[in-house]
Amino acid sequence: MIRNPILPGFNPDPSICRVGDDYYIATSTFEWYPGVQIHHSRDLVNWTLVKRPLERKSQLDMRGNPDSCGVWAPCLSYADGLFWLVYTDVKRFDGNFKDAHNYIVTSPTIDGEWSEPVYVNSSGFDPSLFHDDDGRKWFVNMQWNHRTESYGGAPKSPAFDGILLQEWDPKTRELVGPIKNIFAGSPLGLVEGPHLFRKNGYYYLTTAEGGTGYDHAVTMARSRNIDGPYEMHPNMHLITSKDQPGAVLQRAGHGQYVETPDGQVYHTHLCGRPMPPKRRCTLGRETALQKCVWKEDGWLYLENGTVVPDVEVPGLNGATLAEKPVRTEYSFDGGKLPADFQWLRTPEPQRIFNLTDRPGHLRLIGRESIGSWFEQALVARRQEHHSFRAETVVEFQPDTYQQVAGLTHYYNRHKFHAAVVTLHEKLGRCVTIFSCDGDYPNGRMTFPAGSGAALPPEGRVQLSMEIRENGLQFFWQTEGMGAWQPIGPELDAGVVSDEGGRGEHGSFTGAFAGVFAFDTSGRAKTADFDWFNYEEL
C-alpha cells in the first residue's frame, strides 16, 4: 500500500520516470544545494534518495538568488540510452519579472556524473522535454508575461501566458522551428508545469493550475496533433482538493503520468498537509502518488472515482512501507556530509564548511549573516514530521558578538528561529535566541530570551529544540550539567512554513533543521559540530 505523501517534507513538483522496473522521481530544490533531488523505487511504496545531480559551479551557481528562487520544477526522462534532466534557474522573484533560465543535462546513469548544461531558453519556467515516438524531441514551458501586476506573492492569471512548444534538435543542441502557444489553460488560470505523453493516437498534456496554494490542480487536455488544438478533460481537472477543504492532502497539483510494465497507471502530484488552526503547511509541499484508470472515453481518471487525492493507494505486488527509524543519529565521520543534508546557494561549499580540518566534526566557517543570499554557513536537513526533536553539540569560542553559531529551525531570511552561542559584553560567552517571525520584507529579528544565559568560558555546548506541531521550545546544557535547561518562551513554529509571514504564494520551499555559523567581523571564525540527531515525536 502506498502511503501519501511518499516523499514527506519539502519535495515539490514531482517529475516521474520509469526505466524497466525502476522508477525515479525528481523534485525541486529551489535555493538549496546541490540542485534537484532524485529518489528511486522499485515498488512505488519505498523511496530512497540516490542523487542530487546539479553539483558543480558550471551547472548551478545560485549566489545572489532571492529566497524561493533557484531550481524550479525539473523534468526527468529517459531516451536514447541517457537520462535527461531539464531544469530552471530562477534569478528573480519580486516585481514583474522572473528571469528564468532553462537548461538540459544528461547522464548514462542516474547516480553518475551529469553533463555540462546546455542552455535552452528563458521565456518562462517549468520546462519539460518530450521524446516522441518518431525520435523527435519537443520542449515545452509556460510563458511569463511581465506586463501585468503579477508581483511575487500575488500571482495574476495574465502573467501565466500559456504553454509554449518548440522542437529541440539533439544534434545541434538548439531549439528549431516555430514557437507555438499550444494551450492557454482552463478558466482556473495560472497554467504552468506542462508534461506531454502519447497514448492511443492522442497527445496528452497535463499542467498545473490555480497557483501552488489551496486552489492548486492538475489539469489535463489532449489533441491528435502535438501543436493542438487541445480539448479539455471532461472534469477539467484530474486531481485537485480545491473544493474539499477537509481533505488530508491539500494544495494538490503539478505532477506527471507514468505506466508500469504491466499497464497500471499512476500520476504524481505535489500536496501540502496544513496544521490547524491557521492552515499552515509546516512541511512545505510534498510528493504524493495516485492510482489512475483509463476509461472508455479515452480519458484518465483517479481510480477512486473523484478528483480528490487519497492518502492510501494500492501499490505494486502487495508492497508494504518499510519501517523507518524514529531517531536518526548523524555523525560526521568519514569526511562526507550525510546525504540528508544540504546547504544554501553556493557551489563552493569549501568556503563555508568542511569535514577534514577536524576529522569526525562538521566545521562551519563563519561568513555572512544568517539569511544571506550569497555565502552563509548553514547546513540542514528537511523537517519530515509535524512534531520532532533535533539536537547537536558545538565547540565555539567567540571573541565578539559578531561571531555566532548554533541550531536553527529555518525556512528563509524572514522565517526562522535559532538557539545560538555568542559573546555578550556583560555575560561573556552565552546562549540566547535569534528569531524572525515572518517580518517581510524587512527581516527584523527579535530576541525572545533577551541577552540569554551565561555559559562557562570554554567547553562544549549542547543545543536542542522540540517542535510539537505549532510550538517550538529551545533547550541547552553544558557537559556535566546532567539536565536540559529550557531557554526563552515557546515560539511559533508554524511561521516556519509556506504560509507563514508573507503568506500563501509568498514562498515555496519548506522547513529545515540544522546548524549554522556566521562571523560578520569578516574573520571567518569556525565552529565545530560533533553530531546531529533528529527524532520524530
Residue 481, pLDDT score: 84
Q: What angle do CA 314, 319, 323 make, to 5 degrees?
A: 115
Q: What is each CA distance from 146 to 53, 113, 156, 208, 505, in whole angstroms?
A: 31, 36, 10, 20, 17
* Entry pTM: 0.97
**Amino acid letter for position 387:** S
- The pLDDT assigned to 480 comes to 80
Query: For the residues 93-119, what does the mean pLDDT come to?
Result: 96
| pLDDT of res. 90 | 98
Q: How many CB atoms lie within 10 A of CB 514?
A: 25
Angstrom distance (rounded) from CA 414 to CA 119: 32
pLDDT of amino acid 106: 98
The Cα 189–Cα 191 span in angstroms is 6
pLDDT in tens, 5-14: 999 999 999 9
Query: What does the pLDDT read at residue 184?
Result: 97
Q: What is the mean pLDDT of the chain?
A: 97
pLDDT in tens, 137-151: 999 999 999 998 887
pLDDT at 495: 97
pLDDT band at 86 (very low <50, low <70, confident <90, very high): very high
78 confidence band (pLDDT: 50, 70, 90): very high
The reported pLDDT for the residue numbered 150 is 80
Residue by residue, DSSP assigns 118-154 as EEEE-S-S--EEEE-TTS-EEEEEEEE--SS---TTS
Give the residue among 532, 533, 534, 501 at the shortest CA–CA distance from 412. Answer: 501
Q: Give the pLDDT confidence score for residue 14 in this predicted structure.
A: 98
Asked if residue 347 has pLDDT above 90, the reply is yes
pLDDT of 479 reads 82
Beta partners for 176?
167
Q: Supply the pLDDT for residue 364.
A: 98
**DSSP assignment of 341-353:** EEEES-S-GGGTE
| Whole-angstrom distance, CA of residue 117 vs CA of residue 96 | 27
Query: pLDDT per residue over 470-520, tens digit each?
Result: 999 999 999 888 899 999 999 999 999 999 999 989 999 999 999 999 999
On the CB side of 385, CA atoms within 13 Å amount to: 16
Query: How sure is the predictor about 237, in pLDDT bands with cuts at 50, 70 and 90?
Result: very high
The number of beta carbons lying within 10 Å of the beta carbon of residue 48 is 11
Contact 498, 284 (CB under 8 A): yes
Which grid coordinates are listed for 225? 496533433
Phi then psi dihedrals of residue 334, to 5 deg: 85, -5
Rounded to 10 degrees, what is the CA torsion of 338, 339, 341, 342?
A: 130
Full DSSP string of 65-116: PPTT-EEEEEEEEEETTEEEEEEEEE---STT---EEEEEEEESSTTSPPPP
Q: Is the pLDDT of residue 152 over 80?
A: no
Give the integer Cα–Cα distance in Å for 411 and 419: 15
> What pLDDT score does 317 carry?
86
The residues near 403 (Cβ < 8 Å, ≥ 6 apart) are 366, 396, 422, 423, 517, 518, 519, 521, 523, 525
Q: Specify the pairing of strand 353-354 against strand 82-90.
A: unpaired
Backbone φ and ψ of 45, nearest 5°: -105, -50
Rounded CA gap, 44 and 123, in Å?
34
250 neighbors 242 (Cβ within 8 angstroms): no
Q: Which residue has the higher pLDDT, 172 or 323?
A: 172
pLDDT at 69: 97
The answer to whether 321 and 312 are in contact (CB under 8 A) is: no
- The model's confidence at residue 154, banded by pLDDT at 50, 70 and 90, is confident
Picking from 468, 133, 506, 489, the residue whose alpha carbon sits closest to that of residue 275 is 468
The residues annotated as belonging to the active site are: 375
Higher-pLDDT residue of 257, 325 = 257
